[in-house]
Amino acid sequence: MRQRKLGAAGPQVSAIGVGCMGMTGGYGPVDPQQCITTIRAALDLGITLFDTADFYADGANERLLGRGLAGRREQAVIVTRGGVRSRTPGGPPTVVDGRPAYLRQACDASLSRLGVDHVDVYCLGRVDREVPVEDSVGALAELKAEGKVGQIALSEVSADTLRRACAVHPVAAVESEYSLWERHLEAEILPAARDLGVVLIAHSPLGKGFLAGELRAPEELGEGDHRRNHPRLQGTNFRHNRAMVDEASGLAAELGVSPARLSLAWLLGRGPDVVPIPGSRRIEHLRDNAAATELTLTAEQQARLDGIFVPDRVAGSRHPAHRRIANADRVA
């Protein structure tokens, strides 16, 4: 497995990681034991980066990851996020809370659920508009000084916010959505990250599974699958976007690879400071994703994909309105 580095002082990680969100719901029913088996299979493949959050299934995702890594903690680089909470116990994460006292409480709770004494990267899940980012990052710096946190990261921030954060303490990574059909960060955020020596952890690199090419119609999404509410996967938007996936699938067929592998190879080719974290609940998908690290696209093939997925051509916004958090410093 090829390696990439999370920031100037950060750890070496596998060039591709695992996003764990779907292992506790979100995409419909899931078998926890199957997910634990997948986590262990990822370690066997040399995948070391695992991304979770305390607001995934009200902490259940962290507990599951902790079980999956039990006995093999030293082989993994754990990224977890805090700073988003529910208004009511057990409710959906709807409130950003960047207060230093809350972040300390959230970090301690994450360590307990994961069953570890430290996390390798602690990520501010969203920036609280009501709390200066300098205060939030200062709190994370204190946790790092205490040995509870290895490196600091931010999620879904603007270029200006990232610069302000880095002025307080070095930031190893910024996590944001980045894929063939979501490229908003190329204008300002990615250049700023590169100027600052910050690595990009690309979540949803397969467009929530859509770029894998297996979803043929919105009706195939089952009950409990949050993608049923995704603007890009509804009605005419779905059909419009599916045509682009079909075009890309043609190139994948020419190369003898899956559309998912092609999509991830395109992303890996954006630079050595981009680390995709596709979600994987099944071992066969995990292996196919990992194989993307061995596929190097030519400049012509990269340009062909760029020409298919022109940003203005993608139909629909990247977030359902009801999933937007009112007090978050959200971008795009």
In this structure, of 167-171, 184-188, 196-200, 328-332, the range with the lowest mean pLDDT score is 328-332
Rounded Cα–Cα distance for residues 211 and 289 (Å): 12
At 115, list the tokens.
């069953």
Per residue in 233-252, pLDDT (tens digit) is 999 999 999 999 999 999 99
pLDDT over threshold 50, residue 112: yes
Ranked by mean pLDDT, the top range of 85-89, 226-230, 302-306 is 302-306
In this structure, of 23-32, 43-52, 259-268, the range with the lowest mean pLDDT score is 23-32
Phi-psi sector, 92: left (phi>0), alpha (psi -120 to 50), beta: beta
Do β-strands 173-177 and 199-203 pair in parallel, antiparallel, or remain unpaired?
parallel
Classify domain 3-210+268-294 at the CATH topology level: TIM Barrel (3.20.20)
> For residue 296, what are the contacts with CB-CB under 8 A and spacing of at least 6?
265, 269
Q: At 292, is the pLDDT very low, low, confident or very high (cuts 50, 70, 90)? A: very high
pLDDT over threshold 50, residue 293: yes
Rounded Cα–Cα distance for residues 288 and 283 (Å): 9
- Taking the domains of the chain in order of start, what are their residue ranges? 3-210+268-294
pLDDT over threshold 80, residue 116: yes
In this structure, of 36-45, 208-217, 236-245, 248-257, the range with the lowest mean pLDDT score is 208-217
Reported pTM: 0.94
> What confidence score (pLDDT) does residue 323 get?
56
pLDDT over threshold 80, residue 330: no
Q: Which of 56, 102, 122, 178 is catalytic?
A: 56
Rounded Cα–Cα distance for residues 239 and 116 (Å): 45
Do β-strands 12-14 and 3-5 pair in parallel, antiparallel, or remain unpaired?
antiparallel
> What confidence score (pLDDT) does residue 329 get?
62
Q: At 321, is the pLDDT very low, low, confident or very high (cuts 50, 70, 90)? A: low
Active-site annotation holds for 102? no
> What confidence score (pLDDT) does residue 313 get?
92
DSSP states of 135-168 as a string? HHHHHHHHHHHTTSEEEEEEES--HHHHHHHHHH
For residues 149-156, give the mean pLDDT.
97
Higher pLDDT, 330 or 183: 183
Higher pLDDT, 112 or 29: 112
At 84, list the tokens.
């988003």
pLDDT over threshold 80, residue 270: yes
Amino acid sitting at position 287: R
In the chain, the N- to C-terminal Cα span, in Å, equals 33
> What confidence score (pLDDT) does residue 322 get?
52
For residues 110-126, give the mean pLDDT.
97
**CB atoms closer than 10 angstroms to residue 186:** 12
Q: At 332, is the pLDDT very low, low, confident or very high (cuts 50, 70, 90)? A: very low
